[in-house]
Amino acid sequence: MNISPAKRRFQFFNLCAIIMLFLVILAGGVVRATGSGMGCPDWPKCFGRYIPPTDASQLPADYKQKYVLGRMKKNVRFAKTLDLFGYNDLATRIREDRSILVPEDFNVARTWTEYVNRLVGALSGIFLLLTAIYSFAYKRSNNWIIVASIGNLILVVFQAWLGSIVVSTNLVAWIVTVHMLLALAIVALSIYSYHAAKVIGRPKLPVKGLIYALTLIVLVLSTIQISVGTSVREKVDEVSTHMQGNYRQDWVAKAGEIFNNHRDMALVVLVLNVMLYVLIRKSYNRHSIHQQLMSFTFLMILAQIGTGIALSYFALPPFAQASHIVLASLVFGAQYYLLLNLSRSASVRGVGV
């Protein structure tokens, strides 16, 4: 089907945005795994420069005191926001947190890690902006594409602010979980708008109730599993702080029941995805997008299990931490795209049974 140049650009920029969003999640995982969140203590510049310094001699005078003061002001503003919503105890804890008064020494590797993370985030923002602009090409065919695209821009701005709070505060563990779930919501909206644009004018497929229900179940469980996984990481951070960064090989073992729940749920997710894989193979031909998506999902799950084993038995290697979260995000994205395609396929070849 021939489409207008504006619609073609929308689909291109939307696809680029989806790819970049997964790269943002990967970059964020690397930042968190390497402890580089404060590698650039100011924003949008980094140590007052558009290009980060490579040596301590390039740092501004009294940079430690300057950026500690800036961090304090940000936390005070956030505490006031919490007060407005009734979280007075949490606001008090943030105000009384003395750990933010400890300045961090300059580390060139962490600075550039955070800077690359910001560049990837900025590029994804540009693609999301272009996606929103060109979404108006669908004004006469599907207004929900416009709503999703503009809504994503609003969410990205909020996500950027929330990310700064994640780095600035040391006590608000649940913000990390909200930050991750919001990232998945942005990915889901981008996938939805891309799929909606691809299926315009194509007939609906008969919905296979059992497959659709099982796909929805595994998608929900994957989301819960990601949420629990962020809580596990927060618990590990608590253990790390308590042990003053020592005995890294014992951190996972001391995380307690929440880690066991995360591991047990992973087995449930694996079993249900095996069942879904069997059903997809029986119901759709091997060239269909349904089988392709399910095969990709299964490979990502196996790779995720591998990184989970590495995290458990090899003292939380940073590469495994970053890989684990981006693989989980890819599983979520593939399952959600499969769910959308079960009712209307975005692939001409995806209609065979």
| 144 lies in the same domain as 170 | yes
Q: Say what the pLDDT of residue 25 is.
A: 94
| 217 lies in the same domain as 335 | yes
What are the structure tokens assigned to 296, written together?
A: 């990709």
| 285 lies in the same domain as 166 | no
| 154 lies in the same domain as 77 | yes
| 160 lies in the same domain as 223 | no
Q: 332 and 226 in contact (C-beta within 8 Å)? A: yes
Last residue of a domain, one of 184, 201, 218: 201
| 125 lies in the same domain as 57 | yes
Q: Say what the pLDDT of residue 24 is.
A: 94
| 38 lies in the same domain as 177 | yes
| 179 lies in the same domain as 214 | no
| 179 lies in the same domain as 194 | yes
Global confidence as pTM: 0.88
Residue 319, φ and ψ in degrees, nearest 5: -65, -35
| 1 lies in the same domain as 143 | yes
Say which residues have a Cβ less than 8 Å from residue 39's Cβ, sequence separation at least 6. Answer: 31, 46, 107, 110, 111, 112, 113, 114, 115
Structural domains of the chain, count: 2
Domain boundaries, position 231: 203-353
Q: Say what the pLDDT of residue 260 is.
A: 80
| 214 lies in the same domain as 347 | yes
The CATH number of whichever domain residue 236 belongs to comes to 1.20.120
Q: Say what the pLDDT of residue 317 is.
A: 85
**pLDDT tens digit at each of 353 positions of the chain:** 578 999 999 999 999 999 999 999 999 889 888 888 888 888 778 888 899 999 988 888 888 888 888 888 888 888 888 888 887 887 888 888 777 777 778 899 999 999 999 999 999 999 999 999 999 999 988 999 999 999 999 999 998 888 877 777 765 667 778 888 999 999 999 999 999 999 987 877 777 889 999 999 999 999 999 998 888 877 777 777 666 566 666 677 777 778 788 888 889 999 999 999 999 999 988 888 999 999 999 999 999 999 988 888 887 788 888 899 999 999 999 999 999 999 877 754 433 33
| 104 lies in the same domain as 223 | no
Last residue of a domain, one of 148, 175, 201: 201
What are the structure tokens assigned to 164, written together?
A: 């700064």
Last residue of a domain, one of 171, 201, 231: 201
